[in-house]
Amino acid sequence: MNNLADMIEQWILRQIAREQDKIIILRRNEMAEELECAPSQISYVLSTRFTIERGFIVESRRGSGGFVRIARIPAQPIEYQDAANQVDDTLSLEEVQDIVARLRSHNLMTSREAALICKCFAMLYDRISPQERVPMLRSLLMILANQNEG
């Protein structure tokens, strides 16, 4: 059987999946009662598994009127923005291809898109100075992000 932290995480993820806007508001004590655990265990899961890096924003208020609001933020724009931010004039073609491979491994682009973008990046590396190349690479990544949002 899963450990308690896994069970708490899965319970929260199921609650989020049921909501259209991907935002839930929970009461920590009620949640702890239902899951038969201490509120501190819920706090631990929230702080370690529901982070911005994992695509969540958590707002928490303690006290009698306290609540926990968890919102899932779209991962695609964040991943692409992070990739675009990594691009600078010292980045090698191999490192750019690694970034594309990471986006592909997160299913943020198809194999076909990855092959096309790698070929495009290789042509930019062959023909354009690093200072001119950086904004073009960033722009191409953000175009992909905007196309994949919907």
Kindly report, residue by residue over 12-60, the tens digit of the pLDDT. Answer: 999 988 888 788 999 988 899 999 999 889 989 999 998 877 778 899 8
DSSP β-bridge partners for residue 25: 69
Q: What pLDDT was estimated at residue 75?
A: 62
pLDDT of res. 2: 66
Q: What is the pLDDT of residue 64?
A: 66
Residues with Cβ within 8 Å of 100's Cβ and at least 6 positions away in sequence, in order, are: 109, 114, 117, 118, 121
Question: pTM for the whole thing?
Answer: 0.53
CA torsion, points 126, 94, 100, 13, in degrees to nearest 10?
-160
Domain ranges (residues) in the chain: 4-72, 75-148
Among left, alpha and beta (phi > 0; psi -120 to 50; other), residue 29 is: alpha
In the predicted structure, residue 1 carries a pLDDT above the cut 70: no
Is residue 85 over pLDDT 80? yes
The DSSP output letter for 73 is P
Q: What percent of the chain has pLDDT over 90?
A: 39
User: CATH classification of 4-72 is 1.20.58.110, yes or no?
Assistant: no
| Residue 73 in this model has a pLDDT that exceeds 90 | no
